[in-house]
Amino acid sequence: VFGVSGRAVAGLFRLRPRHDPLDRLALLLLVAGLVLLLLAQMDAGEGAARGMAHLLIGAALLTFTIGLRVLEPGTTSLSGLQRYVTVAYGWLVVAAVLLMAGAFAGANGRFPGQPELHAVGAGFLTNLIIGFGSRALPLFEHRALRGVAGLSLAFWLIQYSVATRVIGAFVALPDVVIATAAPAGLLGFVLGVIPLLDLLLRGRAETPHSAGRFISPMGRSAGG
């Protein structure tokens, strides 16, 4: 994720040049945190080591996001499809804060319900996949993306699902809200992925003659 964000996301969304020293520091913190977490897993009773590992990993995520400069004023955008990427890194910051706070306040170094995992998985990764895909695939396939209205609805369904899971770890929410969180997230993901799959399938359907063939460096088509 660090590599994709540093190169593909930064280039595709024309972010400001990243802070390389912060990138290197984030990598060191992440490696140290993962090693310490592995050692803590080998000793199930060592809660302090697990808490320190989460603290280091959270610091790594926060340092990386700051170094990427994706949330700086003038760079962020909550309009169009770029809002997926902006909100994705917003959830990554939330996960980082939860990891670091849980190291001090949570049992065994984390909060009950593991809200940081929801912030990373459903919040960061889901938004990043849809946001990056909706920007990159039209460029690679040389075709327009259809179903943008569905992507707008998907965006709000995903944020509702993630926010419910994260907030619900600290505040008692109505049963109806909790019950609708998972279906809303699943529906949002499906609505977000359908336009991407449609774009890929249209590309395959419109170029059947290219199956089993490739273009050589000399410009000639060779059979498979």
For the chain of 224 residues, list the mean pLDDT of each consecutive stretch of 10.
68 74 92 90 71 92 90 74 90 95 75 90 93 86 84 94 94 92 95 91 63 40 43
Where in the sequence is the domain holding 35, given as residue range(s)?
Answer: 2-203
Q: Is 216 inside a domain boundary?
A: no
Overall residue count recorded for the chain in this entry: 224
Residue among 62, 77, 82, 74 at smallest CA distance from 19: 62
Q: Are 158 and 122 in contact, with CB atoms under 8 Å apart?
A: yes
- The gap from C-alpha 67 to its chain's centroid, in whole angstroms, comes to 16
Q: Is 42 inside a domain boundary?
A: yes
Q: How much is the pLDDT for 205? A: 65
Total domains, the chain: 1
Long-range contacts of 200-208 (CB under 8 A, 24+ apart): 200/137, 200/141, 202/141, 202/143, 203/141, 203/143
Q: Is 208 inside a domain boundary?
A: no
Q: Is 25 inside a domain boundary?
A: yes
DSSP for 170-205 reads: TSPPPHHHHHHHHHHHHHHHHHHHHHHHHHHHHHHH
**How far apart are the C-alpha atoms of 72 and 54, rounded to whole Å?**
25
Number of other CB atoms surrounding residue 209 within 10 Å: 8
Q: Is 217 inside a domain boundary?
A: no
Q: Is 212 inside a domain boundary?
A: no
State both tokens at 197. 């799959």
Q: Is 211 inside a domain boundary?
A: no
Number of other CB atoms surrounding residue 107 within 10 Å: 10
pTM across the whole model: 0.82
Q: Is 210 inside a domain boundary?
A: no
Q: Are 126 and 54 in contact, with CB atoms under 8 Å apart?
A: no
Q: How much is the pLDDT for 73? A: 79
